[in-house]
Structure 1
Amino acid sequence: MSPPPTWLFDLDNTLHNASARIFPHINRAMREYIERHLGLDRYAADRLRADYWRRYGATLLGLVRHHATDPQHFLDETHRFPDLERMIVFEKPLLHALKRLPGRKILFTNGPAAYANAVLALTGLQRHFDSVYSVERLRFQPKPSRAAFDIVLRNERLTPHRCILVEDSLENLVTAKKLGMRTVWINTGMRQSPFVDLKLRSVRELPHRYGRL
């Protein structure tokens, strides 16, 4: 039998629903940060936040490249939560699904370490992951950058064809597929892509469907 794969899992909108409460809070905090530090009104700040996210995959990267923003300061200021446990929307059956998947599991997220580890602890997900790669560990080179993938592959001594990336972001899956990874897209829409090997509505479906990979 061939050895089991190594699973690379995104966090937000892959393992939990960040769009419900967490993303609105982060987006508002990012807009306010840009207002304060770049002297923009709220509408210009929100446009800049969204534009950098579309262009670079992370607002942080645009601010660092174009405004010399200190990345750690930005992350610290924009990822403060009054009650993170209350804000998390998480399906507990997902824990059982991860347990049934053979192979190592690595968290691969563009979020900061403190936030990622807090979500893992509050949901009980931490027991399923051998390693966590946050944006700091990626040297502030977030997905879909090839550099982010190279750091994980090199540090974990992985070959791409033995890896499966599970993501909600198609752009990140494109990079993974070009490297030779297999790809799972967590998405509820109708769109299809040649860069996606398996499309699912939830990670809970993986134990029944991963054989198709």
Structure 2
Amino acid sequence: MTARCLWLFDLDDTLHDAGAFVFGALHESMGAYVQRELRVPPEEADRLRRLYWLRYGATLLGLVKHHGVKPAHFLHETHLLPDLEQRINGHRHDLAVLRRLPGRKIILTNAPRAYAMRVLQALGIARWFDAVVTIEDMAMFGHLRPKPDARMLRALAARLRVPPSRCILVEDTLQHQKAARSIGMHTVWMQRFGRRGSPVRARRQRWTMQPAYVDRTIGRLAQLLPAGKHWPTSLGNPLK
């Protein structure tokens, strides 16, 4: 086992601005999918999509549990996004930090593999990651267990032969970070893209908070270099 840390990077709204195109397009494609497959009107489709997102952390999990939807079919149909490559918006100079960041680097995303690889190729950063872990890889006992499932995160660390204390999750979603911290992982809250898309009042209330399970907040990847200098003393230096 390497002595260096293992970086777990989320994808959407962490490494690129998913709010600029992807999230809106997925909202439409998922709504259309639910209408078509469940044969319900738009209002009911939207209600179910939101309900399952809040209850299970992912619309897909609710559709599988309550309607027998096949995960592969849902993921394929909703993530076709024909204009994706032309609409991806990242910051090239900031993304270049990934190449210099010490330690192993892995993508950990609830998105499907085909979509994730298209985004990474469009950003030109696929070669800087040791592996890409997508929702298809987050199955336990025959059921999908995407983020924020702490059991999945613990199993992933074991599979990668790295103790959770050597893992650093860089992520825009607080719920996912809370789960990571519950098993001993370090956490970095990426605020760059989410903060820009929030209303002014929401920015003041949400983005200035510092939950106990968040080790650091950043607005750009360059703030991770040199990462060891910025970690709380109580946590030690995860790069040693």
TM-score range, shorter chain: over 0.9
Matched residue, 1:74:
74
Q: Which amino acid aligns with 2:19?
A: S
2:164 to 160, 163, 176: 160
Higher mean displacement: 48-57 or 108-117: 48-57
Query: Superposition RMSD on alpha carbons, in Å?
Result: 1.5
Matched residue, 1:199:
217
Whether 2:22 is the aligned partner of 1:22: answer yes
Matched residue, 2:58:
58
Higher mean displacement: 39-48 or 65-74: 39-48
CA distance 1:210–1:34, change in 2 (3 Å): farther
Matched residue, 2:31:
31
Distance 1:97 1:198 in 2: 17
Bigger Cα Rg: 2
Q: Which amino acid aligns with 1:204?
A: A
Q: Please list every run of at least 4 consecutive aligned residues from structure 1 whose deviation after the TM superposition is greater than 3 angstroms.
A: none
Matched residue, 2:6:
6
Whether 2:179 is the aligned partner of 1:182: answer no
Higher mean displacement: 164-173 or 203-212: 203-212
Task: Output one character per residue of 1:25-69: Cα deviation in whole Å (capped at 9) or x when no partner.
Answer: 011100011111112211221121122112222111111111111
| Residue 150 of structure 1, CA deviation | 2.9
Contact 1:164 1:184 in 2 (8 A): yes
Identity fraction in percent: 44
Matches for 1:106-125 after TM superposition, within 5 Å = 106-125=106-125
Contact 1:106 1:133 in 2 (8 A): yes
| Residue 125 of structure 1, CA deviation | 1.2
- Name the count of aligned residue pairs: 212
Task: Output one character per residue of 1:68-102: Cα deviation in whole Å (capped at 9) or x when no partner.
Answer: 11000000110001221111111101332112211
Q: Given the two structures, how large is their TM-score scaled by the length of structure 2?
A: 0.84
| Residue 195 of structure 1, CA deviation | 0.7
Matched residue, 2:174:
170
| Residue 210 of structure 1, CA deviation | 4.9
Distance 1:151 1:121 in 2: 28
Contact 2:95 2:221 in 1 (8 A): no
| Residue 170 of structure 1, CA deviation | 0.3
Q: Give secondary structure in 1 for the equivalent of 2:89.
A: coil
Distance 2:172 2:55 in 1: 17
